[in-house]
Amino acid sequence: MSETALISSFFKKYLDTLKNNGTNSGRGEIQKMASKRHKVLNLFLILIPWLSLLFLGKRSIKRYSFAGFFIAIFEIINHLYGRKRNWWEFYDKPNSFIRDELPFDIGPYFPMSLWLLKFSYGNF
């Protein structure tokens, strides 16, 4: 299904709920659709970087996994502490750490740190 078809079907559903049930009834369905898209985005955010590790090599994964794990744990702690201390502001405030911020920690940070360690080792 193309992107324009998805958008048009979304607006058709939204307009139908507005016509049938009043102006505020479509809000729940929109949140459900946004929640589904959020889950799919989180899934891709985790899977794509981890799939890239297939090209890294077994030796490099063994060599840099401890440092990568340390970086991932450090970033999780950094997110939790920064959220508590209000180091940054969000346009759309995250509701839950597990749903909104943790996929960034376990998705891109660990595999990206392994790739960066592999390419930067011995080059300084």
Question: What domain count does the chain have?
Answer: 1
Q: With cut-offs at 50, 70 and 90, classify the pLDDT of residue 104.
A: confident
**d(C-alpha 68, C-alpha 52), whole Å:** 15
Instruction: Write down the mean pLDDT value for the chain.
Output: 78
What confidence score (pLDDT) does residue 112 get?
93
Q: Which residues contact 17 (CB under 8 A, 6 or more apart)?
A: 25, 26, 29
Question: How confident is the model over 17-50, as pLDDT tens digits?
Answer: 655 554 454 556 555 666 788 888 888 989 999 9
Q: What share of the chain is helix, strand, coil (3-state, %, to 5)?
A: 80, 0, 20
Domain housing 41: 3-120
Q: Where residue 71 falls among pLDDT bands split at 50, 70, 90? A: very high
DSSP letter at 122 equals T
The answer to whether 88 touches 82, Cβ cutoff 8 Å, is yes
Please name which of 111, 105, 104, 108 lies closest in space to residue 61, comparing C-alpha atoms: 111
Banded model confidence at residue 67, pLDDT cuts 50, 70, 90: very high
Mean pLDDT of 83-108: 78
Buried b (16+ CB within 10 A) or exposed e, 18-53: eeeeeeeebeeeeeeeeeeeeeeebeeebeebeeeb
pLDDT for position 111: 93
